[in-house]
Amino acid sequence: MRTTIILKTASNYLLPVLLLFSVFILLRGHYLPGGGFVGGLVAAIAFILHSFANGLKKTKELLMMHPGYLIPTGLAISFLSGLVPVALFDLPFMTGLWSHDPVAILGNIGSALFFDIGVYLVVVGVTLTIIFTISESA
């Protein structure tokens, strides 16, 4: 794919910024617009942009693993976050658990946050798997 120098250079700087932004969206989701779905999509778009500028191979090298592995990881995190109250406190599946004191930046940490992180990972994994698979064989 032929790309301009500007896009190539810009995407190298944009990737970390966009990723940081996606994490920001993920974390603030509980209080303000955002969340795992949108955050995941933004992160996926960041990688796709990078792959457009530098080629799929470079992006894959950067990722170090197939994005498909993110899917089971995310699913497991989400599922376990629901399982924790069952295992530790004998509460129903997916009961929300919360820390008593607010943590810096994040505010209250709860099991819902981990659930959202799982969603984030699944969305990144699914989107990248689909796009990469298609552009590989296209």
Partner 1 sequence: MEILIAIMIGFLYASGIYMMLRRSLVKLIIGIILLGNGANLLIFFLGRITKGAPPIIPGDAKVFTEAFADPVPQALILTAIVISFGLQSFAIVLVKRAHTVVRTDDLDEMNATDEDS
Partner 2 sequence: MLTAILTGFLFSIFLVFAGRFFKGKLSLLASLIPLGLFIYFFQFIGPVSNGEVIMRSYQWIPSFGVDLGFKLDGLSLLFSLLISGIGFLVFFYTSSYLKGHQYLDRFYGYLASFMGAMLGLVLSDNMITLFVFWELTSITSFFLIGFNNTSGASRRSALTALGITGIGGLLLLAGALLLNNISGTYSISEMLSMSEAIGDHEHYLTVVLLIFGAAFTKSAQFPFHFWLPGAMKAPTPVSTYLHSATMVKAGVYLLMRFTPVLGGDNIWNTSLLVVGGITMLYSAVHTIFRTDLKGILAYSTISALGILVFLTGLGTREAFLAAAVFIIVHALYKATLFLVTGIIDHQTHTRDVTRLAGLNKVMLPVGIAGILAAISSAGIPPTIGFVGKELTYEASFHSETLMILLMVAIVLTKIFLLYAGFVAGIKPFIGKLPEEHAQVKSPDFVLWTPPLLLAILGLVFGVAPFIIDTPIIKPVVEAMGADASEIHLALWHGFNTVFILSLITIGIGTALYFIIKPSEKLEAAAGRFEFISPESLYERFNRIFIDVSNFWTDFFQNGYLRNYISIIILFLVVLVGYILIGSTNFVIDYHSLSRITVYEITATLILIAGIFYTVFTQSRLAAVVAMGVVGLAICLIFVFYSAPDLAMTQFSIDTLTVILFVLVLYKLPKYLKLSDYKTRLRDGILSAVFGLLVATLALQVIAEPVNKEIGEYYAQNAYLEAHGKNVVNVILVDFRGVDTLIEISVLSIAAVGVFGLMKLRLKMADRKRYQDSQK
- Contact window for partner 2 (CB under 8 A) among 7-15, 57-65, 106-114: 106-114
Q: Is 83 in the site for partner 2 (CB under 8 A)?
A: no
Do 101 and 87 form a contact (C-beta atoms < 8 A)?
A: no
Q: What is the DSSP letter of 98?
A: B
Looking at the Cβ atoms of 37 and 52, the one nearer to partner 1 is 37
Q: Is 134 in the site for partner 1 (CB under 8 A)?
A: yes
Angstrom CA distances, 48 to 18, 70, 93, 103, stand at 11, 16, 36, 33
The pair of three-digit structure tokens given for residue 88, joined into one six-digit string: 């530790």
Using CB under 8 A, count the residues that bind partner 2: 49
Binding site for partner 1 (CB under 8 A): 31-33, 37, 41, 123, 126-127, 130, 134
